Structure 1
Amino acid sequence: MVFKSFRFKVILRLLIITSVIVFIIYFIAKPYYYFTVGELLLLVIALIIELIRFIEKGHRQINQMLESLKERDFSLKFNPVEEGKVFRGQAKILTQLVQSYRDIRIEKEMHYQFLNLIVNQLNYGIVCFDADGKISLSNKTIKKLCGLSEISHISSLNRIDKNLSNAIESLKTGEEKLISVIKDGEFFKYSISCNEIRLLDSRYKLVALHNLHSTLQEHELDSHKKLIRILTHEIMNSVTPILSLSESMNENLKDESGNIKELNDISKEDAEDLILGYEAIEVRSRALMRFVNDFRSLTRLPDPKIEVVEIDSLFRNVLSLYRAEIDEKGIKLSVYITPDIETISVDRGMLEQVLINLIKNSIEALEDTFKSEIVIESLLLENSIAIVITDNGKGISPENLEKVFIPFFSTKKDGSGIGLSLSQHLIHLMGGTIGVKSIQGLKTSFSIRFPI
């Protein structure tokens, strides 16, 4: 049934050609009909050409449809009911085939967009690349880290760190590495992991880049607590015998009945030793007790009492404590408060304590600095409120940048090393984070962020 019309038209043309050939044979046998025979021969040739074109016409349309499929052009339509069209069955099948390809392409595009949507929701970087380093998939997190709207080659990751692309390309399947990066003066730790996938005849590497900054902060705080408990225990073990010794020495100054010995009964040398011993024990004991109490405060902080605080009032109260010192030392002070947000939900006392410590550190860092300046500002970021304190002091060296929040660590001669650690703990209790960026010899910025 498919070729019913086509067969009829072909047979009709063949019958006409056969009839003309019969006439040619008939007229060849008769003299004086050479001109007629010639005309009939031309007619046969014309009919044969027309038959060939008729047969090829349907094939040309089918070939055109197949060519469009090859070029992935699904806009062409094959209309089998149009006059002069043939192979209606094939036309119908081809039309269905084109529609199937079109549906597959739409479904594939939907899957790709769905995959992109999922990948872009991840809070860590994803990048997939082939053996030549050409990137076929990346998410907005990795693009944001690179500072680019689009990345096409793995070498673009060198914008994060100059050796990052080499580190990623050298990763083996299933391997995971920790890398340290200082970007724009800020210290970061990343975890990079790799898996290899095979699509058709090509191999691809799928790499995940995790920013461990927040996670490490939590782990550091837990480590700090354990460390402080151990130190408290050890120091108290030293302090107790010292206090006991002082009591024993006092007892040595008394006779069996508990009365104080006469001075004549104590030699001058023993008296001097006792006095020196008392003084040494007292000074050391008090110093150790203060040391212990300072560190014990890190693990016994009260729960924060969150309230709505005006940022302007907060800054004014804290700066009033240092206004005289800042003016005396000739430090330029600049304060900027974003008009986009005027209040912040925090524990006022805790945040004031942190700001006092940071401003104090900035003032100390500006010693011997020409045209010293401190900038305090509040900023409204994408998902957080930030308070940033910046000074143009000597800065922090790269090797010390990652240690500033560790208890006991201090670059100051008489520093206890608990100020920044305590500040980090207080900010963490209020649900925020604190970070530092420093370019040695240029500036240092401490940034406190609270989610909104």
Structure 2
Amino acid sequence: MMGQLKQERLRVREQNHFLDLLMQVSPMGVIILNFGGEVTQLNPVAAKMLRVKMHEVIGKKMAGIATPLALALSTMELEETKDVRLEDANIYKCTYAYFIDQGFRHPFFLIERMTDVVMRAEKKAYEKVIRLIAHEVNNTTAGITSTLDTLNEALVDVEGTEDMRQVMQVCVERCYSMGRFITRFADVVKIPEPTLTMSSLNELATVCARFMEGICADRQINLQLQCSDEVNDVPMDVSLMEQVLVNIIKNSAESIGVGGDILIRTITPATIEVADNGKGIDQDTADRLFTPFFST
């Protein structure tokens, strides 16, 4: 009897050790709770997903951990599985379940990072939609502009048609604008791989500020530039970063409207920051910032 009991304890100990090893090396986040819903154990992946240190959350309930993912987990019902999309564009598949140990339920969370999988699927879907839309719009506008140009030329020598020709010219310009608009959408799926070179953040900020001065002046916006002499050069694709920074400044100007301030500054060791006194965005908009083609 004693020998059997000893063997059983050894088997359980070895089994628990094996499960502990699996938790530590698992690519999924694992969080184990006690009967009161307090965290008793979590693996390194779960700590990274929660953006906490492991010892900081032991003994806490999920609702008491002030991170977006933890707060989302705290709202789940037992035996529920749902996808959680955070503001930083990360997507997680979360399962709240339990296992039986010595006749008692032990709740736990399984968290799987789905960001890359979902992004690839969404990108393929957007590529197909964009190609279809671009093809149909460009074909349609090409036919319309060609017809309007021909009609406009035919009416040049006809008296009393100036108003009509002006309206047709407006229609032609709108067609060209629509073509440029859809082309910009199509460019989203053609962004090249970045070519990294050691470049100056100060020079990037200066070039973009100079480029956006005219737009800001038209809106009576004071555009300021503050560059730190101690900022390090960083590896970046200058062309792509210029596009990013110009878009951010443009968004700031649109947020302000008329009259206001935009500050572009570089901070050591290698940070570039754009601040404005615009009206900002609400939480619903913030949750959708990284959704392709979403705009306010």
Taking structure 1 as the reference length, the TM-score comes to 0.50
CA distance in 1, matches of 2:154, 2:262: 58
User: Identity over the aligned pairs, expressed in percent?
Assistant: 22
Give how far 1:236 is off: 1.9
Give how far 1:330 is off: 4.6
CA distance in 2, matches of 1:246, 1:336: 55
Picking from 177, 199, 212, the partner of 1:287 is 177
Asked whether the equivalents of residues 243 and 285 of structure 1 are also in contact (C-alpha less than 8 Å), the reply is: yes
Distance 1:400 1:378, change over 3 A: farther
Once the two structures are superposed, residues 138-182 of structure 1 have per-residue CA deviations (whole angstroms, 9 ceiling, x without a partner) of: 1234345263524224345642358535433x131xx42123456
Counterpart residue type for residue 247 of structure 2: N
Asked whether the equivalents of residues 82 and 95 of structure 2 are also in contact (C-alpha less than 8 Å), the reply is: yes
Picking from 41, 52, 56, the partner of 1:137 is 41
Distance 1:352 1:210, change over 3 A: same
Give how far 1:369 is off: 8.1
Higher relative contact order, chain-length normalized (CA < 8 Å, sep 6+): 2
Distance 1:301 1:179, change over 3 A: closer
2:135 paired residue number: 233
Q: Which has the larger radius of gyration?
A: 1
Counterpart residue type for residue 245 of structure 1: T
Alignment of 1:20-419 (within 5 A): 104=10, 108=13, 112=17, 115-116=19-20, 118-122=22-26, 124-144=28-48, 145=50, 147-148=52-53, 149=55, 150-155=57-62, 158-161=65-68, 164-168=72-76, 170-172=77-79, 175-181=80-86, 189-246=91-148, 249=151, 263=157, 266=158, 268-269=159-160, 271-272=161-162, 274-304=164-194, 306-310=195-199, 313-323=200-210, 325=213, 329-331=221-223, 333-335=225-227, 342-344=233-235, 346-362=236-252, 364-365=254-255, 373-377=263-267, 387=271, 389-393=273-277, 394-411=279-296
Distance 1:236 1:127, change over 3 A: same
CA distance in 2, matches of 1:368, 1:300: 34
Instruction: Give unmatched runs, 5+ long, in structure 1.
Output: 1-93, 254-259, 380-385, 412-452
Distance 1:364 1:337, change over 3 A: farther
Asked whether the equivalents of residues 314 and 352 of structure 1 are also in contact (C-alpha less than 8 Å), the reply is: no
CA distance in 2, matches of 1:192, 1:337: 46
Taking structure 2 as the reference length, the TM-score comes to 0.71
Asked whether the equivalents of residues 334 and 374 of structure 1 are also in contact (C-alpha less than 8 Å), the reply is: yes
Give how far 1:366 is off: 5.3
Give how far 1:191 is off: 2.2
Give how far 1:400 is off: 1.1
